[in-house]
Amino acid sequence: MLRAGRRRRAPASDRPLSVRRALAVALLISYAFAAHAERIREYKTFIRLLPNGALQVQEEIAYDFGSAKRHGIYRDVPRWLPDPALGGRWLRIRPLAILRDGHPEPWDDADAPIGFVRWRIGNPRGSLSGTHRYTIRYEVGPAIVAASLGRDML
């Protein structure tokens, strides 16, 4: 029996989620996305100047795929060099070796934005998860040119 002035309470299934419940759901969803997040854990570059003016570059990339299943990574390397003295120039980029976890890794050229070379690194028939270490070695040349100002420019 209802008393005058009192409303009957709606069943729990008809009530909106409480703030605490909504927050808990949001945290669980964000945790699920974070668990799948890919990221670069470490990135190192070593550069050696060769006698012919070219650069030999070695990049070491520790890439964490998280729990996602992926075939590999893409690597974009700039090949257009803005040059105040010459107005800009194209660099030759020549891959020397691409390794994953110390072993040769398949790769091929992929469509790239203007001014870049792009390598698709990985096996299209395989899938990776977790952290893997990529070593990418390539030569850039000519990197050093004699400028009209009487000094060499990089």
The CATH number given to 38-153 is 2.60.40
The dihedrals phi and psi of 23, each to the nearest 5 degrees, come to: -65, -45
Q: How would you label 20-46 residue by residue, b for 16+ Cβ within 10 Å and e otherwise?
A: eeeeeeeeeeeeeeeeeeeeeeeeeee
Rounded CA separation 121/94 (Å) = 15
pLDDT tens digits for 66-96?
A: 888 889 999 999 988 887 777 788 889 999 9
Domains in the chain: boundaries: 38-153
pTM for this prediction: 0.71
pLDDT tens digits for 108-137?
A: 999 988 889 999 999 988 889 899 999 999
pLDDT at 110: 92
pLDDT tens digits for 46-72?
A: 999 999 889 999 999 999 998 888 899
pLDDT at 47: 94
Percentage of residues of the chain with pLDDT beyond 70: 70
